[in-house]
Amino acid sequence: MSKEKQGEENGRPDLEKAVDNSRRDFLRKVTLAGAVTVTGGAAIYSGHRFEKAKHNEGMVRVLTEDNRLVEIPVEQMRDFKPDLKMLQTRGREGIAGRRWVMVIDLSKCRNARKCVEACQSAHQLRPYEYHINTLVMQESVNTPAFYMPKPCQHCDNPPCVSVCPVDATFKRQDGIVLIDNERCIGCRFCIAACPYSARIFHWQEPIQVESASETEDEYDVELNVPQKKGTITKCLFSADRLRDGMLPYCVSACPNGVFYFGDENEDAVTNGTTKETVRLSELLETSGAYRLLPELGTKPRVYYLPPRNRIFEFEEGEKREYKEDKA
Partner 1 sequence: MDETRFNTPGEQRKIDSIAADILRNVRINRNFILWMGFLSAVLVLCLAAYVIQLRKGLGVTGMRDFTSWGMYIANFVFFVATSLVGMLISSVLGLIGYKWVKPISRIAEIIAIAFAAVAGLVIISDMGRPDRLPYVFMFGRVQSPILWDVTVVTTYFVLSLLLWFFPLVPDLAISKSRLDGRPAFLVKAYDILSFRWEHHEVQYRIMKQAIRILLILIIPTAFAIHTVTSWLFAVTPRTGWDSTIFGPYFISGAFVSGTAALIIAIYFFRVNYKLQKYITDDTFDKIGRVLVLVSIVYFYFNLNEFLVPAYKLKTGDAIHLRELFSGHYAPLFWTIQLGGLIIPVILLLFKRMRRPLPMLVISLFVLCGAWLKRYIIVVPPQAHPNLPIQGVPVEWIIYRPTLIETAVTVASIILVLIIITILSKLFPVIPIWEMAEEGNENDKTLDKQ
The least CB distance from residue 199 to partner 1, in Å, is 8
Phi, then psi, of 104 in degrees rounded to 5: -115, 120
Residue closer to partner 1 by CB (options 95, 152) is 152
Local structure of 268: helix, strand or coil: strand
Nearer of residues 193 and 209 to partner 1, judged by Cβ: 193
Q: How far apart are CA 208 and CA 124, in angstroms?
A: 7
CB of 47 or CB of 144, closer to partner 1: 144
- Kindly tell me which of 37 and 162 has the beta carbon lying closer to partner 1: 162
Number of Cβ within a 10 Å radius of residue 23? 9
C-beta of 126 vs 310, nearer to partner 1: 126
**Residue 50: CB minimum distance to partner 1, A:** 58
| Least distance from partner 1 to the Cβ atom of residue 116, Å | 8
Q: Determine the residue type at 98.
A: R
CA–CA dist 310, 306 (Å, integer): 9
The residue type at 85: K
CB of 145 to partner 1, least distance (A): 11
**Smallest separation (angstroms) from partner 1 to the CB of 121:** 16
What length does the chain have? 327
The span from the CA of 320 to the CA of 155, in Å, is 30
| Nearer to partner 1 (CB atom), residue 21 or residue 162 | 162
Quote the least distance from Cβ 54 to partner 1, whole Å.
52
In 3-state terms, what secondary structure has residue 44?
helix
Q: Are 305 and 154 in contact (CB under 8 A)?
A: no
Give the CA angle between residues 67, 102, 284 to the nearest 5°: 115
The residue type at 55: H
Cβ-based nearer residue to partner 1, 70 or 293: 293
DSSP output for 171-239: E-TTS-EEE-TTT-----HHHHH-TT--EEE--SPPPPPHHHHHHTPPPBTTTTBS--TTSEEE--TTH
Summarize as ranges the residues that interact with partner 1 (CB under 8 A). Answer: 128, 130, 133, 135-137, 150, 159, 162-167, 183-189, 191-193, 195-197, 199-205, 229-231, 292-293, 296, 298, 320-324
Distance CA 165, CA 81 (A): 31
Rounded distance between C-alpha atoms, residue 223 and residue 237, angstroms: 9
Q: How far is the CB of 278 from partner 1 (least distance, A)?
A: 27
* Dist CA 190 CA 161 (whole Å): 7
Nearer to partner 1, 55 or 229 (CB): 229
| CA 160/CA 154 separation, integer angstroms | 10
In the complex, minimum distance from the CB of residue 133 to partner 1, in angstroms, rounded to a whole number:
6
Q: Report the nearest approach of partner 1 to the CB of residue 200 (Å).
A: 5
Q: CB nearer to partner 1: give 157 or 286.
A: 157
